[in-house]
């Protein structure tokens, strides 16, 4: 047989049907052999003895704010951070760039930047905002993963929330295009009214913030979107769901045969409202971190496999926008910076709750690839797939510091957290991007990946 480019030897590969000690042969960026005791010569080898080889994380929800706001985060630093967390493909959301990704011109501008600067592969979301319904078809044909809309006020004049008519019109078009609509589901009327009530009395504490974004606001928005999806036939993906009651509504829709998937984020599983009270704006996000009892319910739902996938919702900003000295918590930017830690977070939960590693791989890789049309090449360790891997050791812990967090801004809820595992290597299409704490790729080689098909997760 022809020589391999790379062989990973003696690793515990997290395969779709379980963990198996094996070797993996790589040629031209693809997995070409999975078997114990490969004897074919290779240009390079990696001894993965006592290490776990996960399929590379596919994070369907990150915010890199380039072009226009790359001082918040850009493709260069953002992709290095993702690679350090074992991520080999991420999907960038459309809202924080200037221009936002709401037409083909903006899409192509962002893609060009990503192709130059990203160290790992990436997909791009398009946006659904009032007035851009005519632009959806061209963006779909150009290769967007799907479309994103907000049901709550965005705080971003470049990307306004979708009113009900925009939502219905957009859903009708998106359904016809065979795409998926991702939704930030919090009710704008409820959250805006509650916020105005607090402002009247000057009530701006952590408890006040939580009270302005109650679970009922999430549930109302989810239920309304499901009604509209039934009318239009539009496939939905609910992002960063933070409550058990919202999952109950989504489960009911799935049981009726609706084409719906749902994600939650590691910060809702590892943290709760007490951290917002303790740390202030660094722990502010929307939806907010919930009370400890709700956090435990979400963990139970993960154990029951009620979430389809896990995504980071990495949402950074400059230090001044997240200033913990701000007296009015409502004025601080709402977003958690932490895209580097999704896989580590889920492995921590797997160790704590005896979740099989293949279930973690399903949540973090296979399900995103299946849902968003990449399963022909990504998401699983199988022959013919891209050689995308996160190599993990559970023999060493990893404590997050400003030095080993590779995001542009080092302010994160995760600083100081110790994971019972560590990413020791990340392969993207057969090339080592990250190893032992450092980006070792000489230059970015990530590429814009486009969906081949869509699949309803049964």
| pLDDT confidence tier of residue 39, bands split at 50, 70 and 90 | confident
Residue 1 has pLDDT above 60, yes or no: no
Residue 327 has pLDDT above 80, yes or no: no
Q: What pLDDT shows up at residue 157? A: 82
Q: What pLDDT shows up at residue 455? A: 42
Average pLDDT over residues 277-302: 96
Using one digit for the tens of pLDDT, what is the confidence trace for 140-150? 999 999 999 99
Q: What pLDDT shows up at residue 158? A: 84
Q: What is the DSSP string of 21-46?
A: EEEEEEETTEEEEEETT--S-EEEEE
Using one digit for the tens of pLDDT, what is the confidence trace for 94-130? 998 899 999 999 999 999 999 999 999 999 999 999 9
Q: Is 351 helix (H, G, I), strand (E, B) or coil?
A: helix
Using one digit for the tens of pLDDT, what is the confidence trace for 230-248? 999 999 999 999 999 999 9
Contact in structure between 102 and 159 (CB atoms under 8 Å)? yes
Average pLDDT over residues 59-66: 95
What is the radius of gyration, based on Cα positions, of the chain?
21
Residue 132 has pLDDT above 70, yes or no: yes
Spatial separation of the C-alpha atoms in residues 381 and 376, rounded to whole Å: 12
Q: What is the DSSP string of 85-96?
A: TTEEEEEE-SSS
| pLDDT confidence tier of residue 155, bands split at 50, 70 and 90 | confident
Q: What pLDDT shows up at residue 458? A: 28
Average pLDDT over residues 214-240: 98
**Closest by CA position to 404, among listed 395, 392, 413, 415:** 415
**Closest by CA position to 315, among listed 235, 183, 445, 407:** 407
Helices (H), 145-284: 164-177, 188-201, 206-212, 215-232, 244-255, 266-270, 273-279
Spatial separation of the C-alpha atoms in residues 256 and 267, rounded to whole Å: 30
Using one digit for the tens of pLDDT, what is the confidence trace for 419-430? 999 999 999 999
Average pLDDT over residues 351-359: 97
Average pLDDT over residues 4-14: 96
Residue 456 has pLDDT above 70, yes or no: no
The secondary structure of the chain in percent helix, strand, coil, rounded to multiples of 5, reads 35, 20, 40
Pairing verdict, β 389-393 and 309-310? unpaired
Average pLDDT over residues 381-400: 97
Q: What pLDDT shows up at residue 324? A: 56
Average pLDDT over residues 21-32: 96
Residue 2 has pLDDT above 80, yes or no: no
Buried-exposed string 419-458: b where 16+ CB fall within 10 A, e elsewhere: bebbbbbbbbbbbbbbbeeebebeebbbbbbebeebeeee
Report CA dihedral (362, 364, 370, 373) to the nearest 10 degrees.
-160
ω into 76 cis (within 30 of 0): no
Residue 154 has pLDDT above 90, yes or no: no
Domains of the chain, start order: 4-53+382-439 (2.30.40.10), 56-371 (3.20.20.140)
Average pLDDT over residues 370-382: 96
Give percent of the chain above pLDDT 90: 87
Contact in structure between 122 and 75 (CB atoms under 8 Å)? yes
Give percent of the chain above pLDDT 70: 97
Residue 328 has pLDDT above 80, yes or no: no
**Closest by CA position to 218, among listed 244, 253, 256:** 244
Average pLDDT over residues 135-162: 92
Contact in structure between 15 and 26 (CB atoms under 8 Å)? no
Using one digit for the tens of pLDDT, what is the confidence trace for 430-442? 999 999 999 998 8
Contact in structure between 308 and 359 (CB atoms under 8 Å)? no
Using one digit for the tens of pLDDT, what is the confidence trace for 253-286? 999 999 999 999 999 999 999 999 999 899 999 9
Average confidence score pLDDT of the chain: 94
Contact in structure between 434 and 357 (CB atoms under 8 Å)? no
């Amino acid at each position: 047989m022809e020589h391999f480019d790379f062989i990973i030897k003696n690793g515990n590969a997290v395969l779709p049907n379980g963990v198996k000690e094996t070797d993996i042969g790589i040629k031209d960026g693809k997995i070409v052999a999975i078997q114990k005791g490969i004897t074919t010569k290779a240009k390079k080898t990696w001894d993965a003895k006592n290490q776990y080889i996960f399929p590379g994380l596919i994070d369907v929800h990150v915010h890199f704010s380039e072009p226009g706001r790359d001082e918040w985060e850009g493709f260069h630093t953002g992709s290095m951070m993702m690679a350090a967390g074992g991520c080999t493909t991420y999907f960038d959301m459309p809202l924080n760039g200037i221009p936002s990704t709401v037409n083909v011109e903006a899409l192509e501008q962002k893609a060009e930047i990503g192709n130059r600067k990203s160290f790992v592969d990436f997909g791009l979301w398009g946006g659904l905002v009032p007035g851009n319904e005519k632009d959806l078809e061209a963006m779909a044909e150009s290769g967007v993963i799907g479309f994103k809309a907000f049901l709550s006020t965005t705080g971003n004049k470049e990307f306004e929330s979708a009113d009900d008519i925009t939502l219905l019109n957009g859903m009708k078009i998106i359904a016809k295009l065979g795409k998926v609509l991702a939704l930030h589901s919090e009710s704008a009327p409820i959250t805006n009214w509650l916020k105005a009530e607090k402002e009247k009395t000057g009530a701006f504490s952590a408890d006040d913030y939580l009270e302005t974004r109650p679970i009922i606001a999430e549930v109302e928005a989810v239920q309304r979107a499901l009604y509209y999806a039934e009318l239009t036939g539009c496939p939905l993906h609910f992002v960063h769901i933070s409550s058990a009651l919202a999952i109950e509504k989504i489960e009911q829709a799935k049981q009726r045969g609706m084409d719906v998937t749902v994600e939650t984020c590691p910060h809702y599983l590892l943290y709760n409202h007490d951290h917002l009270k303790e740390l202030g704006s660094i722990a502010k996000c929307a939806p907010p971190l919930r009370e400890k009892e709700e956090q435990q319910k979400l963990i139970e739902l993960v154990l029951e496999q009620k979430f389809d996938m896990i995504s980071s919702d990495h949402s950074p900003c400059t230090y001044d926008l997240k200033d913990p000295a701000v007296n009015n918590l409502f004025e601080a930017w709402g977003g958690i910076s932490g895209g580097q830690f999704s896989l580590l977070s889920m492995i921590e939960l797997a160790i704590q709750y005896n979740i099989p590693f293949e279930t973690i791989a399903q949540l973090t890789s296979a399900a995103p690839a299946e849902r968003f049309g990449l399963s022909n090449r990504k998401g699983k360790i199988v022959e013919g797939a891209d050689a995308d891997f996160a190599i993990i050791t559970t023999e060493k812990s990893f404590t997050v510091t400003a030095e080993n967090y590779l995001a542009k801004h080092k302010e994160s809820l995760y600083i100081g957290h110790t994971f019972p595992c560590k990413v020791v290597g990340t392969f993207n299409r057969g090339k080592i991007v990250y190893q032992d704490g450092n980006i070792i790729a000489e230059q970015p080689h990530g590429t814009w990946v486009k969906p081949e098909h869509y699949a309803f997760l049964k």
